[in-house]
């Protein structure tokens, strides 16, 4: 009788442990996800539909348009891996005329704030094609700059100059100052960008709250036919 009771207690303990495991690990929810939610939906949930890697949008395009080529994929999101793996076929060649633009921003810009005697941007940018204009946000109505402006990055202790120009202007607050300088060197997701205004006194620097660089798109939607769009994800030709 005692052995039978011990056996029953052991069964109850094992049963309790199994139920605890199922409850704590969402066993039934995971089972539901595997058998009810299809593979593409799970990928979209994990990698995003039109954000992050945007695998959901890519899978939809491949299914809808039955690609017999690999379209060129550009993702504007920072620090995400290439998501071409989700639709690329090694048997197909890349067709550069067909492009997929993921997380496409309406405007490309870099925002700079004061850092000692220079201005520093924590932001990064990619797929730009040049500097369109510069805007100074001032504490006063205007400021006069008679100095050289340098835009650069640092490699160790070396300045990699992106843009350099003499400025002799009376600049108003939030005035849009055209630059129209073509370059792709400002594109980087790893290195911060700096603006240096030489011969500017400490008091003058304090009058500048921030500086904004507005950039040109390398892939301007006006130059393409939009085949498919969802939010800020585009399939164009």
Return the pLDDT at 98: 97
Question: Domain 108-217 is of which CATH architecture?
Answer: Sandwich (2.60)
Is there a contact between 226 and 233 (Cβ–Cβ < 8 Å)?
Answer: no
Return the pLDDT at 154: 87
- Total count of residues recorded for the chain: 237
Please tell me the chain's helix, strand, coil percentages from 3-state DSSP, rounded to the nearest 5.
25, 40, 30
Return the pLDDT at 19: 54
Q: Kindly give, in sequence order, each residue whose CB lies less than 8 Å from that of residue 215, ignoring residues fewer than 6 positions away.
A: 108, 109, 110, 125, 128, 129, 130, 131, 132, 186
Return the pLDDT at 36: 47
Q: What's the distance, CA 91 to chain centroid?
A: 29
**Alpha-carbon distances of 159 from 36, 54, 126, 191, 216, rounded to whole Å:** 56, 36, 20, 12, 23
Return the pLDDT at 189: 83
Averages of pLDDT over each 10 residues, the chain, 237 residues:
53 57 55 55 75 93 95 91 92 95 95 92 92 96 92 89 93 96 92 90 89 96 96 97
Neighbours of 113 (CB within 10 A): 13
């Amino acid at each position: 009788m005692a052995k039978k009771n011990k056996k029953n207690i052991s069964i109850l303990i094992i049963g309790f442990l199994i139920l605890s495991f199922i409850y704590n690990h969402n066993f039934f929810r995971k089972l539901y996800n595997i058998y009810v939610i299809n593979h593409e939906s799970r990928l979209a949930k994990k990698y995003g539909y039109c954000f992050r890697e945007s695998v959901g949008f890519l899978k939809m395009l491949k299914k809808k348009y039955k690609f017999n080529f690999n379209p060129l994929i550009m993702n504007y999101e920072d620090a995400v891996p290439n998501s071409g793996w989700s639709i690329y076929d090694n048997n197909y060649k890349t067709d550069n005329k067909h492009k997929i633009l993921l997380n496409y921003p309406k405007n490309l810009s870099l925002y700079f704030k004061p850092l000692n005697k220079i201005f520093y941007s924590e932001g990064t940018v990619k797929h730009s094609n040049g500097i369109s204009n510069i805007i100074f946000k001032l504490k006063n109505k205007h400021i006069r700059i008679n100095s050289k402006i340098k835009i650069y990055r640092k490699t160790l202790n070396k300045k990699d100059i992106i843009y350099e120009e003499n400025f002799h202007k009376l600049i108003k607050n939030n005035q849009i100052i055209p630059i129209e300088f073509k370059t792709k060197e400002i594109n980087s997701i790893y290195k911060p960008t700096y603006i240096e205004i030489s011969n500017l006194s400490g008091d003058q620097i304090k009058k500048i709250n921030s500086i904004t660089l507005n950039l040109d798109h390398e892939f301007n939607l006006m130059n393409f036919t939009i085949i498919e769009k969802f939010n800020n994800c585009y399939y164009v030709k």
